[in-house]
Chain A
Amino acid sequence: MKEYVLLMISAALVNNVILARFLGLCSFMGVTTRIDTAVGMGMATTFVITVSSMADWAVEAYLLQPYGLGYLRTVTFILIIAATVQFTEMIVKKVSPPLFQMLGIYLPLITTNCAVLGVALLLVEGKMNFIGATLFAFASSIGYSLVMVIFAGLRERLALADTPRLFAGPPIGFIVASLLALAFMGFSGMSTS
């Protein structure tokens, strides 16, 4: 139990997907103009990363490794992620068409989000069991969502602040993101062993 808790804290904070591994920066900069859209995108990404990582682990354990097909890993995982996004769209549309109308815009953005593929490849590298891999993926995506929401809050305030014209918009956003990354570096001093 303790090892799973430490695994999750490490995945969410110490090795944060956005601020430590620098993955998923496109949607990080694009969908964080409002806290609400950041929450929507974060939740959708969390769902897709968790479900696709489960599928990736199963394919790796039962197909790629036993038959020596490791060279197909990247292509296979991309296919699984795209299929998972389509599956999620279909499911949300079936469960509730009004929910799909509200939330459906975020899903296509996740297909090309490198954080999803990055997490899948990392869990293969970590040689975890199924529950460990799922918890790692879930915690990584929670860390991703947390940083998105924090950054969205900062950007909402920045939009109202008196920023020099040359820095307004993305430039000050990137500066704030780097300061946030510096702050998260404080977690790297935590020992999980």
Chain B
Amino acid sequence: MSEAVDSMTDFSAPTMIEGTAHVVAVEGNMAWLVPETGSSCGGCASASACGSKGIGTAASRLEARRFQLVNDAGLRVGERVVVGIRENTLVRASLTAYAIPLATLLSAGALAQWAAGSDTITMVAMLAGLALGLGLARLGAGRLLVRGELAPRFIRRASPGETCNS
């Protein structure tokens, strides 16, 4: 029988979102890593077996998400590691990338509809709002990057058999 939930467990304490990645290159003091895909649905689990590097395949998508880490732990090519980001970082990044453009898009559309009442003018205004929002999102993302919030952190070396889903 598993243990009961500890009533003193602090659900509000910040935690890391962990994921596994493997080292594909080491250049001086920096290591390049590629994330390993988890199975958020059956399609991804089968796609992870795909070894081809064609455009749009799971393998090429993961390759496009290569990231760098400072190699303080002396990682070697082929090693699997567990990396993490703070849990509120993902929320903040999502809001920056998607909420800001959506807010400007809808505001511009509402304003155009109120002022002109024409579908075509509203459409053009929304596209302009989207473009403005993307520019603001770029500025916001730059600020997050400067604060170091977007970079994954090295947590530990992955044990054999450890995956994103374990």
Chain A interface (Cβ < 8 Å from any Cβ of B):
26-27, 29-31, 34-37, 39-40, 43-44, 46-47, 50-51, 54, 58, 61, 91-93, 95-96, 98-105, 108-109, 112, 129-131, 134-135, 138, 160-162
Instruction: Determine if B102 and A138 form an interchain contact, defined as CB atoms under 8 angstroms apart.
Output: yes
- A26, A134, A161 interface centre (most CB from chain B within 10 Å): A134
Instruction: Determine if B119 and A61 form an interchain contact, defined as CB atoms under 8 angstroms apart.
Output: yes
Which 4 A-B pairs have CB atoms at the shortest separation, nearest pair first? Answer: A96-B141, A98-B150, A43-B94, A130-B119
Instruction: Determine if A46 and B137 form an interchain contact, defined as CB atoms under 8 angstroms apart.
Output: no
Distance A54 CA – B67 CA, assembled complex (angstroms): 34
Provide the main secondary structure of the chain B interface.
helix
Contacts of A31 in B (CB 8 A): 40
Q: Is B59 an interface residue (CB 8 A)?
A: no
Instruction: Determine if A109 and B41 form an interchain contact, defined as CB atoms under 8 angstroms apart.
Output: yes
Chain B interface (Cβ < 8 Å from any Cβ of A):
1-2, 4-5, 9, 17, 35, 37, 39-41, 43-44, 58, 61, 64-67, 85, 87-91, 93-99, 101-102, 105-106, 109-110, 113, 119, 122-123, 126, 130, 134, 137-138, 141-142, 144-145, 150-151
Specify which of A54, A102, A103, A109 is in contact with B126 (CB 8 Å cutoff).
A54
Distance A107 CA – B129 CA, assembled complex (angstroms): 22
Instruction: Determine if A103 and B41 form an interchain contact, defined as CB atoms under 8 angstroms apart.
Output: no
Instruction: Determine if A131 and B90 form an interchain contact, defined as CB atoms under 8 angstroms apart.
Output: no
6 contacts between A and B (CB under 8 A): A39-B94, A43-B94, A47-B101, A98-B144, A100-B65, A108-B61
Distance A29 CA – B41 CA, assembled complex (angstroms): 8
Instruction: Determine if A138 and B95 form an interchain contact, defined as CB atoms under 8 angstroms apart.
Output: no
Using known A-B contacts A95-B137, A96-B145, determine if residue A30 contacts B40 with beta carbons closer than 8 Å: yes
Instruction: Determine if B122 and A26 form an interchain contact, defined as CB atoms under 8 angstroms apart.
Output: no
Contacts of B65 in A (CB 8 A): 100-101, 104-105
Instruction: Determine if A30 and B106 form an interchain contact, defined as CB atoms under 8 angstroms apart.
Output: no
Instruction: Determine if A40 and B94 form an interchain contact, defined as CB atoms under 8 angstroms apart.
Output: yes
Contacts of A61 in B (CB 8 A): 119
Instruction: Determine if B141 and A47 form an interchain contact, defined as CB atoms under 8 angstroms apart.
Output: no
Q: For the complex formed, measure the closest distance between the CB of B94 and the CB atoms of chain A, giving whole angstroms.
A: 4
Contacts of A46 in B (CB 8 A): 98, 102
Instruction: Determine if A109 and B40 form an interchain contact, defined as CB atoms under 8 angstroms apart.
Output: yes
Instruction: Determine if B138 and A44 form an interchain contact, defined as CB atoms under 8 angstroms apart.
Output: no
Q: For the complex formed, measure the closest distance between the CB of A97 and the CB atoms of chain B, giving whole angstroms.
A: 9
Contacts of B110 in A (CB 8 A): 131
Distance A58 CA – B89 CA, assembled complex (angstroms): 36
19 extra interface residue pairs, beta carbon distance < 8 Å, beyond A101-B150, A108-B58, A160-B9: A34-B17, A35-B87, A43-B94, A43-B99, A44-B98, A47-B97, A47-B98, A92-B97, A95-B134, A95-B137, A95-B138, A96-B96, A96-B137, A102-B85, A102-B90, A103-B94, A109-B41, A161-B5, A162-B5
Specify which of B1, B113, B150 is in contact with A131 (CB 8 Å cutoff).
B113
Q: For the complex formed, measure the closest distance between the CB of B145 and the CB atoms of chain A, giving whole angstroms.
A: 5
